[in-house]
Amino acid sequence: MSAAPLLSTHQDAGAIFAEDPECQEVLNYGDTDSEYRTVVESAGITDRSLRGKLRVTGSDRERFLHGMLTNTVEGLVSGQGNYTAMTTPQGHTLTDLVVIHRGEEIFLETEPGYQDKLRVSLDKFLIADDVTLEDVSGNFAIIGLQGPAANQVISAAAGQTLETMSQFDSVDLHIGSLPTVVVCHSYTGENGYEIWTLAEDAADVWRDLANSGAEPVGCVATDVLRVEAGIPRYGLDFDERVMPLEAGIASAVDFEKGCFIGQEALAKMHNLGKPRRYLCGLVIAGSEPAPRETEIFVDGKEVGWTTSSLLSIYSDECVAFASLRRGFHEVGQLVALGDGKSGRVVKLPFRPTAIGSE
């Protein structure tokens, strides 16, 4: 997995990388607080190229995916999309993903590194279906644009007005002279988009967007925004231990669509209205975030664990997502953390957002 399409661009902008710049996201460009404000107040440009990308083709592509994923695929038309998940037959979350319908092709976008898990999981159910699954993660770059001025920046770079779209819908658009697909996708809670472009065109598209008013933003700032907005990430905030209804992603499930893998287990939980646990917001006393997977206790009883935790720029408080057992998830619940800190359950999101959490 390589950041190569935009590596030189980031280096020229003074990017600070986590470790090896060939395989790591940009942490920041020198000032996380300023980058945070850029997204909240104007338009921040980010590199999302490490995200997984599968291309699905074949005459049975819609029917097949409709029976595999938790949200609707049949009935979507070119230019539409949605947020969904794939679960085990027992309803546990294998991964979440975004479906992007582009007519004869359907693209599936996952968290970085999870595209192969999704491909293998789908491939197990292919028998006589006319469906081809192809990992195209290296073929395309994804450039994110987030903030209230994101639409204006894209419109300026394209030389035409970008019409309002629903979340996860997409449109063909030329940035400068280069073809791109613009997907309406907020991953910070602010208005935003992802621009899919051929990897070899990424640097030119980035330059045109930057010249149209976007400022570079690293993943530290976008992660603060994400957590404040109450948007969980697969692999960080939920995994196969939990079902979508327990992970804060109930919007990824359509209970009216008919059968899909895990449907019976999820429908039972939905109809009873009793998830075993909930993804909650937690405000933690002190100035130090909690390590991920810190155990949480109430009256000496273990009731859950922390996931993402950080210092909120919005509130100047330590906040965290917490996976808590039913009965201990109500707003106002006081908890003790295994590292000696105390905390209080609060309602998500942690700050007002332009786009609600997924």
What are 97-137's pLDDT values in tens digits? 999 999 999 999 999 999 999 999 999 999 999 999 999 99
Q: How far apart are CA 103 and CA 171, in angstroms?
A: 11
pLDDT for res 112: 96
pLDDT for res 191: 97
pLDDT for res 357: 44
Name residue, tokens 């809670």: 189
Phi and psi, residue 28, nearest 5°: -165, 175
Q: How far apart are CA 18 and CA 344, in angstroms?
A: 31
| Mean pLDDT for all residues in the chain | 96
pLDDT for res 275: 96
For the segment(s) 4-51+138-228, the CATH number from 3.30.70.370, 3.40.50.150, 3.40.50.300, 3.30.1360.120 is 3.30.1360.120
pLDDT for res 2: 46
Phi and psi, residue 120, nearest 5°: -65, -40
pLDDT for res 355: 79
Which fold, 276-350?
Elongation Factor Tu (Ef-tu); domain 3 (2.40.30)
- CATH classification of 52-135 is 1.10.3720.10, yes or no? no
pLDDT for res 261: 98
Q: How far apart are CA 285 and CA 282, in angstroms?
A: 10
- pLDDT tens string, the chain, 358 residues long: the values are 345 799 999 999 999 998 765 566 899 999 999 999 999 999 999 999 999 999 999 999 999 999 999 999 999 999 999 999 999 999 999 999 999 999 999 999 999 999 999 999 999 999 999 999 999 999 999 999 999 999 999 999 999 999 999 999 999 999 999 999 999 999 999 999 999 999 999 999 999 999 999 999 999 999 999 999 999 999 999 999 999 999 999 999 999 999 999 999 999 999 998 899 999 999 999 999 999 999 999 999 999 999 999 999 999 999 999 999 999 999 999 999 999 999 999 999 999 998 754 4
pLDDT for res 356: 55
Instruction: List, by residue range, all CATH 3.30.70.1400 domains of the chain.
Output: 52-135
Instruction: List, by residue range, all CATH 2.40.30.110 domains of the chain.
Output: 276-350
Nearest to 250 by CA among 330, 358, 329, 326: 358
The string of pLDDT tens digits covering residues 254-307 is 999 999 999 999 999 999 988 999 999 999 999 999 999 999 999 999 999 999
Can you give the chain as a three-state secondary structure string? Answer: CCCHHHHHHHHHCCCEECCCCCCCCEEECCCHHHHHHHHHHCCEEEECCCCEEEEEECCCHHHHHHHHECCCCECECCCCEEEEEEECCCCCEEEEEEEEEECCEEEEEECCCCHHHHHHHHHCCCCCCCCEEEECCCCEEEEEEECCCHHHHHHHHHCCCCCCCCCCCEEEEEECCEEEEEEECCCCCCCEEEEEEEHHHHHHHHHHHHHCCCEECCHHHHHHHHHHCCCCCECCCECCCCCHHHCCCHHHCCCCCCCCCCHHHHHHHHHHCCCCEEEEEEEECCCCCCCCCCEEEECCEEEEEEEEEEECCCCCCEEEEEEEECCCCCCCCEEEECCCCEEEEECCCCCCCCCCCC
